[in-house]
Chain A
Amino acid sequence: MMGQGRLAAWGIGLAALVALPFVYRDPYHLHILVLILIWSFAYTSWSMMGRFGLVSLGHGGFMGIGAYVTALLWNHLGLSPWIGIPISMAAAGTLALIVGYPCFRFRITGHYFVLVTLALSGIVLQVITATRDYTGGSLGYTPNRASGNRLLALQFDDKTTWYLIALAVWLFGIVVWHWVDRSMARYALEAISEDEDAAAAAGVDVTAEKLKITLLSALMTALAGAIYCQYQMFITPDTVSGIAVSLQMVFAAIVGGLFVSLGPTVGAIITILLAETLRIGFGTKAVGWDNLVYGVLLVLFIIFLPKGILGSLLDRLKPQRKVSRAHEQEAVQIVRPGA
């Protein structure tokens, strides 16, 4: 249940976020904010299933499909991203079902599921690199500049426009997260993550519930890839697809906090600021350092702070609030005995 106070806090925060680009126009900082919002959405999409113990290392694949299918349809068939994006999402969704169904039907869980999804990620990366005549391979790919209607081509030079689009997409992700969190499906998925047989004995169709959340997560991740492609206007297999991107999603979601709605957002802020700091501070000497830092931090977080930064912080705050109320009541009783 969301209290009035929390709702008000969300409202004020959102109003401030919407107003931001109109009062603060530094293009570099807006660029960083757009990146944070898009990646936050991608990480939130991953955590939709990750929070239920469905750890996927295949989401780089879904993101790559979102980005590449949209760009290829635009360049080769002249299909507007407004149509291309739904097609790319459908493609990622279909792939998710093809990989997910046998896994869930035949109870491939835990480490084995992670390995299957890891393979998925690798395969998508290989396909993009191997079909270099179309995709540009590892050199990357650029959607053609629109000659006509910019809105139809979903191409804007204006950072403010992109900031607002990214904000809307990010907000959509948060809303979907809360929608799932408050649905009966969350009970079912929590139950499945603990004990599949017991969940089935409560009447839950385990395979269907797992497929549904996987599909939702894959569709959202593909959307994130497509939006990223439209914003950057340049994609490479390494930046939108593959195992590194998948690992980055896991890292960010875990560091931020898997079990709270803004956890992946906090994760995105940390990862992107870290990457930017390393890039600016050390330039080309630090290429790949961010991955090294991610790896070390990931190990430390899983051991010492499994609920992530935001999750642990909120946990800290909760009991303190209760304690302070108990103190208040004690104080009342001391002042007015018998009250």
Chain B
Amino acid sequence: MLEVSGLVKRFGGFTAVNNVSFRVDQGEILGLIGPNGSGKSTIFNMLSGTLAPTSGSILFAGHEIAGLAPHRIINGGIGRTFQIPRPFRRLSIFENVALAGFYGQGRHSRARAEAAAERSLAMVGLPTDRHASVDGLGAAGLKKLELAKALATAPKLLLADESLGGLDEAEMDQAADMLRNIRDELGITIIWVEHIMGVLMRVVDRVMVLDHGEKISEGLPSAVAGDPRVIEVYLGTDAETTQAAAAEARRRAGG
């Protein structure tokens, strides 16, 4: 459903993403991992239209979307969340999601947007009360709101950007399960960017690893976790931590 080829993004002399190609199949959860500054968020920003690629092609459902304006991409069926939640604090929780339901689905009708908002809020487990303020939400609540906003745009492909940063272990597991439910129940294909490898490995079907803007590994979670290149660049070269982390990753991926 998504086919990215030869994607390049340069900021002046710095190449943030260098000739990255990958594909995502319908109904799949693809994990995208890599150290800080490896280009994960830059790829997301190009997929969602926030940044225009320097070169390369992004085919979504057979249409070229590279360089399109964000609102057109969102309306075309790609929803996204931000790494750091970006709620609209002057609107209530419900209004935040209703806004996405209205503008993210071709501005059909207010009733349809509000119905979408109610469904999305219920899906992520937030109250559907129309006046509840965003200020009452903690870190986990704000992440859920991000997800509800993205879901309300009725995406076929969901770009989930580091959804779990700042959560405790129970909340992380809960959030990972939620992403899986979204795929299983709504049939939404997901690309999940994450730096907490363990939880991600448990849920995704396939993993792609980036380093310095280049793809260095791709495949099943268990295979990628054992790839020496991944262990070196992603987990560091300190032997003890590396082995422990790799073992942990394999355990998670297996269970």
Contact = CB atoms under 8 A, between A and B. Distances in A.
A188 interface: yes
A187 B98 contact: yes
14 contacts: A184-B98, A184-B99, A184-B107, A187-B102, A188-B103, A191-B96, A197-B70, A198-B86, A198-B88, A200-B74, A201-B80, A201-B149, A203-B75, A203-B103
B126 to A, nearest CB: 16
Nearest to B80: A201
A335 interface: no
Interface of A: 184, 187-188, 190-191, 193-195, 197-206
A201 B146 CA distance: 10
Nearest to A183: B110
A201 B99 contact: no
A187 B87 CA distance: 12
B69 A202 contact: no
B49 A200 contact: yes
Contact of B88 (A190, A200, A206): A190
Contact of B103 (A193, A195, A197, A202): A202
Interface of B: 48-50, 69-71, 74-75, 80, 82, 86-91, 95-96, 98-100, 102-105, 107, 110, 113, 149-150, 153
Which 10 residue pairs spanning A and B have beta carbons closest together? A203-B104, A203-B103, A198-B86, A200-B70, A202-B100, A203-B74, A187-B99, A205-B71, A191-B88, A204-B103
A271 B201 CA distance: 65
B103 A201 contact: no
B88 A201 contact: no
Contact of A197 (B50, B95, B100, B102): B50
B147 to A, nearest CB: 12
A195 B70 contact: no
Contacts, number: 74
Contacts of A202: 74, 99-100, 103-104, 149, 153
Given A203-B103, A204-B99, 7 more contacts: A184-B107, A198-B86, A200-B69, A200-B74, A201-B70, A203-B104, A205-B69
B104 A184 contact: no
From A187, A188, A200, A203, name the one whose CB has the most chain B CB atoms within 10 angstroms. Answer: A203
Contacts of A205: 69, 71, 103
Nearest to A192: B88
B111 to A, nearest CB: 11
B39 to A, nearest CB: 18
B88 A184 contact: no
B148 to A, nearest CB: 11
Q: Which of A187, A190, A197, A205 has the most CB of B within 10 A?
A: A187
A204 B91 contact: no
Contacts of B100: 202-203
Nearest to B152: A202
B90 A190 contact: yes
Contacts of B103: 184, 188, 202-205
Contacts of A203: 71, 74-75, 100, 102-105, 153
A44 to B, nearest CB: 20
Contacts of B113: 184
Contacts of A187: 88, 91, 95, 98-99, 102
Nearest to A195: B86
A194 B99 CA distance: 14
A198 B71 CA distance: 10
B219 to A, nearest CB: 30
A188 B82 contact: no
B82 A198 contact: yes
B70 A190 contact: no
Nearest to B85: A198
A201 B82 contact: yes
Nearest to B102: A184
Contacts of B87: 198
A53 to B, nearest CB: 10
